[in-house]
A and B are shown apart, each in its own frame.
Chain A
Amino acid sequence: MNLHIVVCVKQVPVSNNVKIDPVTKNLVRSSEPGVMNPFDQNAIEAALKLKHRYGGKVTLISMGPKNFEITLRQGLAMGCDDAILLSSRAFGGADTLATGYVLSQAIKALDKVHLVFFGRQSIDADTGQVGPIVAEFLDWPQVTYVSKITPLSEEIIEATRLMEHMEQTIEVKLPAIFTVRSELNEPRYPTPRNIQLSYQKTIETWDEHSMNLDLNRIGIKGSPTVVRKVWSPSKPKKMTQSLGRDVDHAVQQLLVILRSQNIL
């Protein structure tokens, strides 16, 4: 059997150092186009390992503006086989529900898919919601926050899910969805040869007419949540007291302070 594996990836800002324009109240993002969400590289690595073992192909899917091709190209250079960019004004303003809906419809439009990988969360919005939403819309089992994958056969995978204070070993029958942690693997670097090859691979662009979509469920219209206000948190400045400049004196003083407050 050849596995068809999908990896959903997102492009995130190079730096999270965004600010609010004090006049327009809009987000001022750096003009740099962005990079692949780090956890998504772990997802690609996991997909490529399974492909290597069982054969098949890895398809990348991303939803966003045209410049998200940078991230898809990087994924192709890591060794993925083809890529689809879901890009249209109609998708704009989507929250996690609308995003998950479009991704799940795109996956349904592909030739039979056996597994879908996601990174555990994106580092800009930090929700981790889209993977489980897609799993629900496809009616597939999910294993989130995966730190280890052991294929038992081409159809059954055992995965370790790493939580705050415990670990679970979960056995799933494909098709299934996995969201992966950085502990899972060390993502490969694109080799020069793969970078070259990646330019022979195509990135398809799909819009709202490329798949079967209920137009009321996409973009802003399909998004139940509304951002009402955005601001930069003011750092609460403390009245900081100096312990002086001499190190021995400073630790003495600290000891007195800690004793007076019953800390030591």
Chain B
Amino acid sequence: MVNKDIWIYAEQHQQMVQPVTYQLITKANAIKNDKKVVVVLFETPEKNIEEDIKLYGPDEIIVIKDKRIKDAPDSLIADLIAQLSKQRKPNSILFGATVIGRSISARLQAKLLTGLTADCLDLSFEDDLLIQTKPSYGDNIMCEIICPHHFPQMATVRPNIFVAQKTKNNEVTITEVKNLKFKENTNIKVNEERPLLSKLDSIANANRVIAVGRGMSHPDGIQLAFKLATKLGAKIGVTRPLTDLAPFSVDDQIGQSGSSIAPKFLLTLGVHGAVQFTTGIGKADVSVAVNNNPKAPIFDVVDYSFVGDAQAFAEAFLKIIQ
């Protein structure tokens, strides 16, 4: 018998729980009805990461403490979750749609021979059936996907779609599991892990963002955007075409296949506003678009508009705040 547990894999980078895990706990709590929200946490014995996770109020945290967790490859984590899932038979298992989440969940899916929906933007339940909404064709199409005859129902969920909230419910059951078999695999070894410092401060978490599009992509325009960003304490994000242009990369990209952002203030300069871009900016508090084409679709999705030259606007704005 399948039980009513919604499992969430606690993703960590360098033993730090990732925001998407907390976002998933809050979302799962909101849709669970009669189900239980259970976090699955792997950590080395000296750690107590469950104390951080508790604050977000899951019903239970399953902890696997073992020194072999350090530098574990995807295949080992997938194998451990598979053993756990066969013992306890959860209703569903959720992961962040991150590099780690996508890599472990797909491997786990193949072990459990069940369905996995990638990159969900929304989740809900109809009784025990998980309704998964995911985009396709670069966010141009939305699909509702179900996995009606297989358990667990599995999904990866795009980071920063839901807002994590700490709860006052700290009645969290901690269950330590010790009966899993660690299959040794000598064919793969994680030799080193390095944080990417420049990426830590990403546009996804920035309070102020200047988005630069093709209409501002000449070197003078980019330089000006950086000056303005420094003055405002803003991060620069770009549209897809600019990711090929130094100094930018996909990490700076806003929108589908880039980051969803949720700044207090967003200024877009020379951004036309393709759907692939605008899906990433819906959470901005105050948004302003500058573009010389009055028909640019960006003007349909922002709070304030200025039809005119982006560079001239940026220059004038820089002058007035200096």
Interface residues in chain A, defined as those with a beta carbon under 8 Å from any beta carbon in chain B: 13, 16-20, 27, 95-97, 100, 121, 123-133, 135-137, 140-145, 158, 161-173, 176, 182-183, 223-233, 235-245, 247-248, 250-252, 254-255, 257-258, 261, 263-264
Q: Are A254 and B195 CB-contacts (below 8 A) given A20-B141, A136-B111, A164-B99? A: no
Residue of B98, B117, B286, B312 touching A247 (CB-CB under 8 A): B312
* 21 intermolecular pairs with C-beta atoms under 8 Å apart: A18-B140, A27-B141, A100-B110, A124-B136, A126-B135, A129-B102, A135-B107, A136-B111, A143-B188, A144-B74, A165-B202, A169-B194, A173-B187, A224-B114, A224-B149, A230-B141, A233-B139, A233-B141, A237-B301, A247-B308, A247-B309
Asked whether, in the complex, the Cβ of B257 is within 8 Å of the Cβ of A250, the reply is no
Query: Which A residues are in CB contact (< 8 Å) with B103?
Result: 128, 132, 142, 144-145
Residue of B98, B109, B110, B302 touching A163 (CB-CB under 8 A): B98
Q: Are A132 and B74 CB-contacts (below 8 A) given A95-B115, A163-B13, A168-B190? A: yes
Residue of B106, B196, B249, B300 touching A167 (CB-CB under 8 A): B196
Residue of B13, B146, B149, B305 touching A165 (CB-CB under 8 A): B13
| A127 to B113 Cα, complex, angstroms | 17
| A73 to B232 Cα, complex, angstroms | 51
| A161 to B75 Cα, complex, angstroms | 15
Q: Are A232 and B264 CB-contacts (below 8 A) given A133-B106, A167-B196? A: no
Confirm or deny: B321 has a beta carbon within 8 angstroms of a beta carbon on chain A.
yes
Asked whether, in the complex, the Cβ of B109 is within 8 Å of the Cβ of A129, the reply is yes
Query: Which A residues are in CB contact (< 8 Å) with B104?
Result: 132
Asked whether, in the complex, the Cβ of A227 is within 8 Å of the Cβ of B143, the reply is yes
Flag B132-164 by CB within 8 Å of A: 1 or 0 each.
000111111111111111100000000000000
Flag B93-124 by CB within 8 Å of A: 1 or 0 each.
00000111011111101110111111100000
| A175 to B199 Cα, complex, angstroms | 32
CB distance from A186 to the nearest CB of B (A): 11
Asked whether, in the complex, the Cβ of A165 is within 8 Å of the Cβ of B199, the reply is yes
Asked whether, in the complex, the Cβ of A232 is within 8 Å of the Cβ of B141, the reply is yes
Asked whether, in the complex, the Cβ of A171 is within 8 Å of the Cβ of B188, the reply is yes
Q: Which of B27-35, B45-53, B216-224, B274-282 contacts A (4 or more CB under 8 A)?
A: B274-282
Asked whether, in the complex, the Cβ of A164 is within 8 Å of the Cβ of B199, the reply is yes
Query: Which A residues are in CB contact (< 8 Å) with B139?
Result: 233
CB distance from A51 to the nearest CB of B (A): 22
Asked whether, in the complex, the Cβ of B140 is within 8 Å of the Cβ of A232, the reply is yes
Q: Are A170 and B190 CB-contacts (below 8 A) given A124-B137, A227-B144? A: yes
Asked whether, in the complex, the Cβ of A132 is within 8 Å of the Cβ of B145, the reply is no
Flag B161-193 by CB within 8 Å of A: 1 or 0 each.
000000000000000000000000111111111
Asked whether, in the complex, the Cβ of B113 is within 8 Å of the Cβ of A229, the reply is no
Classify the secondary structure of B's interface with A. Answer: mixed
Asked whether, in the complex, the Cβ of B275 is within 8 Å of the Cβ of A235, the reply is yes
Asked whether, in the complex, the Cβ of B140 is within 8 Å of the Cβ of A17, the reply is yes
CB distance from A194 to the nearest CB of B (A): 25
Residue of A172, A233, A257 touching B142 (CB-CB under 8 A): A233
| A170 to B73 Cα, complex, angstroms | 9
CB distance from A46 to the nearest CB of B (A): 18
Q: Are A133 and B193 CB-contacts (below 8 A) given A128-B102, A229-B144? A: no
Lowest 10 CB-CB distances: which A-B pairs, in order? A224-B115, A16-B138, A136-B110, A127-B118, A132-B106, A141-B188, A129-B106, A225-B115, A229-B144, A224-B150
| A207 to B198 Cα, complex, angstroms | 48
Specify the chain B residue showing the minimal Cβ separation from A232.
Answer: B141
CB distance from A86 to the nearest CB of B (A): 18
| A257 to B304 Cα, complex, angstroms | 10
Residue of A158, A171, A247 touching B306 (CB-CB under 8 A): A247
Query: Which A residues are in CB contact (< 8 Å) with B191?
Result: 158, 169-171
Q: Are A165 and B196 CB-contacts (below 8 A) given A128-B102, A144-B102, A238-B302? A: yes
Residue of A136, A140, A235 touching B301 (CB-CB under 8 A): A235
Asked whether, in the complex, the Cβ of A168 is within 8 Å of the Cβ of B193, the reply is yes
Q: Are A136 and B107 CB-contacts (below 8 A) given A166-B194, A227-B144, A243-B306? A: yes
Query: Which A residues are in CB contact (< 8 Å) with B321?
Result: 255, 264
Specify the chain B residue showing the minimal Cβ separation from A258.
Answer: B265
| A226 to B146 Cα, complex, angstroms | 5
Q: Are A166 and B14 CB-contacts (below 8 A) given A129-B109, A242-B306? A: yes
Query: Which B residues are in CB contact (< 8 Å) with A133?
Result: 106-107, 109-110
Asked whether, in the complex, the Cβ of A176 is within 8 Å of the Cβ of B116, the reply is no
Specify the chain B residue showing the minimal Cβ separation from A134.
Answer: B110
Query: Which B residues are in CB contact (< 8 Å) with A121?
Result: 102
Q: A96-B109, A97-B114 are in contact. List 4 more A-B contacts (CB 8 A).
A: A126-B135, A129-B105, A133-B110, A240-B303
CB distance from B33 to the nearest CB of A (A): 20
Flag B247-284 by CB within 8 Å of A: 1 or 0 each.
00110000001000000110000000001101100100
| A57 to B279 Cα, complex, angstroms | 43
CB distance from A175 to the nearest CB of B (A): 9
